[in-house]
């Protein structure tokens, strides 16, 4: 029996798949839970980038990240995943349209299209 090359095999399967005419974006609750899980995994591997470094690199910070960044605290404190204690995360993981409006909050961004 001959083997089909892997790429060709997957192309043949993809050719037979029928996609719905309307592709819907993932629910915002799912996006929030995936993001939270990825942040937990990243923090488990090593220290996250500090808010000072993120701001210097041009990344906009949410209200709470900016508060921690300007606080008189060590860079290790400024590397904490403060989303773990933020109400926006909890609301976003449990409600499809959470009442959160903080500028630059990733959980707010998940409510948008796509």
Q: In this predicted model, what pLDDT tens digit does every residue of 45-98 receive, in sequence order?
A: 888 889 999 999 999 999 889 999 999 988 888 888 888 888 889 999 998 888
Domain ranges of the chain: 49-114
pTM of this prediction exceeds 0.85: no
112 versus 32: which is more confidently predicted? Answer: 32
* Distance separating the N- and C-terminal Cα atoms of the chain: 44
Phi-psi region of 104 (alpha: psi -120 to 50; beta: other; left: phi over 0): left
């Amino acid at each position: 029996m001959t083997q089909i090359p892997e790429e060709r095999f997957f192309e043949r399967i993809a050719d037979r798949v029928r996609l719905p005419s309307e592709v819907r974006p993932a629910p915002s609750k799912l996006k929030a839970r995936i993001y939270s899980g990825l942040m937990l995994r990243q923090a488990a591997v090593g220290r996250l980038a500090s808010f000072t470094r993120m701001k210097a690199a041009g990344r906009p910070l949410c209200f709470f990240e900016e508060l921690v960044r300007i606080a008189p605290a060590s860079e290790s404190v400024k590397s904490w995943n403060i989303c773990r204690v933020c109400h926006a995360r909890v609301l976003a993981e449990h409600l499809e349209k959470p009442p959160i409006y903080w500028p630059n909050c990733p959980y707010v961004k998940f409510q948008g299209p796509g």
